[in-house]
Structure formats: C-alpha cells, structure tokens
C-alpha cells in the first residue's frame, strides 16, 4: 500500500495499492483469453510483461477485472485502474529524489532496468532487477506503462522500455502516445484504490 504524502512536489491525498510488477502475459491471457504480445517465445514468456496493448485494451481488461471483483480488501471496497502520471512518479520514487529510484549515475542503471543497452532487443521476465524501497519492480525499463494523464491529446506512458535508451527510463521521462497506439514496448501496471 502506498500511503498519502508528498515527494518532489507531488502529493498523494489517498492511499493506493500498487501492483508490484507490470501485468504479465499469463495474467492478461487469464482475463482476456488471448495474448496480443509480440514476445511470446520461450518457456518463460508468460512471466514477461504483456505488450502491444493500447489504452482501450487496458480499459477493457480493467473493466472485466472490476466486474468480477466485489470483495473487500483490508476491509475496504475499491476498484482497479491505471495510475496518473503523478501517482506513477510518486510510487516510483518511493521517497527518493534521484534520476532513477536508486541513483543519479548512468552507469548504475543496469541494476534496476532492462533498456536498449542490455535487454537483447526483447522484453524480459518481470522482477529480475532490484526493486525500489517499496518493493516495486520494473519501473525503469522493460515495458513502458500507460497512465491516465492526457497532454496535448496524447496519453503519457512512464518508465521507458526495453528499446529506449537509459535517459528515457528516468522517473521524470514522459512518452506521449495516442490512445489507439499499440507497441511491443507498451504495457500496463495496475493500481487498486479504495472507494
């Protein structure tokens, strides 16, 4: 659970629960009965983040999750959704003030991220790199994550991906896409917020 607070000028007013990892191919397939991902090869592909999903696909996935989920968690009722850009940066930082949640040094990015320099031109199984202070994995690199923040008719994705350079994986780096964009570098991370 991410508690309300302030970090680097971003305030969180209500608690949210954040997925420790991006949504994987096996999780997506269990709900949607199909796997749109480009990187499906190999025995461990189900543990890779789902990719090639646009914002509308993500909303359909979340709608199905919420339609079958009416049980309280921790005594609270709530629903799944995508984070905003500010929420994403808040839980990515986990109280840090550096370019990446663990460091300002470019030569230390491999500790936390799969990016163009080390990914082998593919997504990787989630959870292999070091997590942030709150136990969240793959916030830098591997798969860029949709948010609900709209800027100039495009939606912000966060985190960079397996095909971006390290600068694009910084906490503050934004990439903008139309909601219909499907790319093998874009996926999602869920949050659950109490009603």
- For the cut 70, the answer to whether the pLDDT of residue 9 exceeds it is no
Cβ atoms of 23 and 153 within 8 Å: the answer is: no
- CB neighbourhood size of 151 (10 A): 10
* pLDDT, mean over the chain: 93
Compute the C-alpha angle 12/60/38, nearest 5°: 100
pLDDT per position as a tens digit, 11-55 = 666 788 999 999 999 999 999 999 999 999 888 999 999 999 999
pLDDT in tens, 139-166: 999 999 999 999 999 999 999 999 999 8
The torsion defined by the Cα of 73, 79, 81 and 84, in degrees rounded to 10, comes to: -80
Give the burial class of 4: count Cβ atoms within 10 A of its Cβ; 0-12 exposed, 13-18 middle, 19 or more buried.
exposed
Which CATH number does 5-194 carry?
3.90.1580.10
The pLDDT tens digits of the residues spanning 44-82 come to: 999 999 999 999 999 999 999 999 877 777 788 899 999
For the chain, what are the domain ranges? 5-194
Q: How does pLDDT run across 106-142, given as a tens digit for each residue?
A: 999 999 999 999 999 999 999 999 999 999 999 999 9
For residue 49, how far is the Cα from the chain centroid? 9
For residue 129, which of 50, 192, 49 has the smallest C-alpha distance?
Answer: 49
């Amino acid at each position: 659970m991410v508690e309300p607070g302030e970090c680097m000028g971003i305030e969180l007013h209500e608690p949210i629960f954040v997925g420790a990892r991006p949504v994987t191919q096996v999780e997506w397939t269990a709900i949607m009965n199909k796997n749109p991902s480009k990187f499906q090869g190999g025995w461990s592909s189900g543990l890779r983040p789902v990719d090639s999903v646009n914002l509308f696909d993500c909303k359909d996935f979340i709608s199905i999750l919420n339609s079958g989920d009416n049980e309280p968690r921790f005594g609270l009722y709530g629903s799944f959704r995508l984070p905003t850009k500010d929420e994403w940066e808040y839980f990515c930082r986990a109280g840090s003030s550096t370019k990446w949640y663990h460091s300002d040094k470019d030569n230390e990015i491999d500790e936390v991220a799969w990016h163009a320099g080390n990914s082998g031109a593919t997504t990787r199984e989630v959870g292999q790199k070091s997590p942030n202070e709150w136990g969240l994995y793959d916030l830098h690199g591997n798969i860029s994550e949709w948010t609900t923040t709209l800027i100039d008719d495009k939606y912000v994705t966060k985190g960079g991906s397996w095909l971006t350079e390290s600068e694009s994986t910084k906490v503050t780096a934004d990439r903008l896409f139309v909601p219909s964009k499907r790319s093998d570098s874009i996926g999602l991370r869920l949050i659950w917020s109490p009603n």
